């Protein structure tokens, strides 16, 4: 039997590596080179304050949400996890390590322990003493001033059992069923929300899609073309995988498009010119200026 030489092995190895790199880099090149279309339909665009206004204040804290309100965002985005004693906690990561002075997984900590932590000093001394809020704290602060886009996260393994029921109960208590939007990279959460209350708007998050290969990524990699779930009103995608064709194709199916995290004025204008409706940004003021939105 013919044996591969070391040289042939290297040739095959580097050719395959080249193909993989090309596939990975292609969306970035395409995004960077594509032009904005001529018209910008600003009227239907919503400026979504990412984790409040995470460019101005420590993400997912009451200061950040207040800043979002001050900057007159159309929608406030935030992330939720479930504590060991079943409180809905507003924080991005599954642990408190990056954004507080503590350590540990949210799923292992009680509310009283989380309440001791400083979630502001890492961002700046002015924010010393800032707490990790509960979702109830945020609802109390925001009231009916602005709709919320609530992203349901997951623990280090699996999903939070019962988080969707907890969320639906709180939404009903605050009577925000008509204004709130739920989003997640985890399809099971969106399906549960839809079963619990089909009237609540849901957005599906996706990190990366490809229109040339059957592969997409949300929480994990799937080897098929991306198909939005039934009954979702928008697909929100990582900005570098957003293309005008994707937005147009989704619109044909009656689905809107959002992108995160758009912090650069040119990117915002380009994406909106393609028909993007949800601009998810750490700097709502930049988005407002870029779109000359009153």
Looking at the annotation, which residues are catalytic?
50, 92
How big is the site for ligand G3P, counted in residues (CB under 6 A)? 9
Residues of this chain, 133-162, that bind ligand G3P according to CB under 6 A? 151
Task: Provide the minimum distance between the beta carbon of 171 and Ca ion in the complex, in angstroms, as a whole number.
Answer: 18
Residue 49, classed as helix, strand or coil, is strand
Q: Which of 85, 66, 86, 84 is nearest to 76 (CA)?
A: 66
Q: Which does 107 bind (CB under 5 to 8 A by kind): ligand G3P, Ca ion, none?
A: none
Tell me which of ligand G3P, Ca ion, none is bound by residue 87, counting a contact when its beta carbon lies within the kind-specific cut-off of 5 to 8 angstroms: none
Tokens of 191: 């399906």
Taking the C-alpha atoms of residue 281 and residue 54, their distance in angstroms, rounded to an integer, is: 8
For residue 257, give every residue at least 6 positions away whose Cβ sits within 8 Å of its Cβ, in sequence order, or none: 234, 235, 236, 237, 242, 246, 247, 250, 251, 275, 276, 277, 278
Cis peptide before 88 (omega within 30 of 0): no
Q: Which of 234, 236, 239, 257 binds ligand G3P (CB under 6 A)?
A: 236
Q: Are strands 216-217 and 208-209 parallel, antiparallel or unpaired?
A: antiparallel
- Shortest distance (Å) from residue 151 CB to ligand G3P: 5
Determine if 59 is a binding residue for Ca ion (CB under 5 A): no
Q: Which is nearer to ligand G3P, 113 or 264 (CB)?
A: 264
Residue 194's binding partner among Ca ion, ligand G3P, none (Cβ under 5 to 8 angstroms by kind) is none
Contact segment (CB under 5 A) with Ca ion among 37-45, 52-60, 144-152, 273-281 equals 144-152
CB 47 within 8 A of CB 55: no
Which residues in this chain contact ligand G3P in the complex, by CB under 6 A? 50, 77, 79, 92, 151, 205, 236, 260, 280
């Amino acid at each position: 039997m013919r044996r591969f030489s070391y040289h042939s092995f290297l040739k095959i190895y580097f050719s395959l590596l080249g193909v993989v790199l090309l596939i990975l880099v292609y969306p970035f090149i395409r995004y960077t080179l594509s032009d904005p279309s001529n018209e910008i339909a600003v009227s239907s665009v919503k400026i979504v304050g990412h984790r409040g206004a995470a460019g101005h204040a420590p993400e997912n804290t009451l200061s950040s949400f207040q800043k979002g309100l001050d900057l007159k965002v159309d929608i406030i985005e935030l992330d939720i996890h479930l504590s060991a004693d079943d409180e809905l906690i507003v924080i991005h990561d599954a642990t408190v390590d990056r954004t507080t002075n503590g350590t540990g997984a949210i799923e292992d900590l009680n509310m009283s322990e989380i309440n001791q932590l400083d979630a502001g000093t890492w961002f700046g001394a002015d924010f010393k003493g800032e707490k990790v809020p509960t979702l109830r704290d945020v609802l109390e602060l925001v009231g009916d001033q602005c709709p919320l886009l609530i992203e349901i996260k997951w623990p280090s393994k699996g999903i939070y059992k019962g988080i969707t029921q907890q969320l639906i109960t709180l939404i009903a208590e605050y009577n925000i069923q008509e204004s709130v939007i739920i989003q997640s990279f985890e399809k099971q959460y969106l399906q549960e929300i839809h079963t619990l209350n089909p009237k609540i708007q849901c957005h599906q998050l996706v990190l990366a899609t490809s229109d040339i290969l059957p592969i997409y990524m949300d929480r994990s990699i799937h080897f098929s073309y991306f198909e939005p779930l039934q009954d979702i009103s928008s697909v929100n995608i990582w900005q570098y995988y957003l293309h005008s064709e994707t937005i147009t194709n989704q619109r044909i199916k009656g689905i809107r498009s959002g992108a995160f995290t758009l912090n650069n004025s040119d990117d915002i204008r380009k994406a909106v010119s393609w028909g993007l409706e949800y601009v998810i940004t750490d700097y709502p003021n930049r988005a407002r200026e870029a779109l000359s939105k009153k």
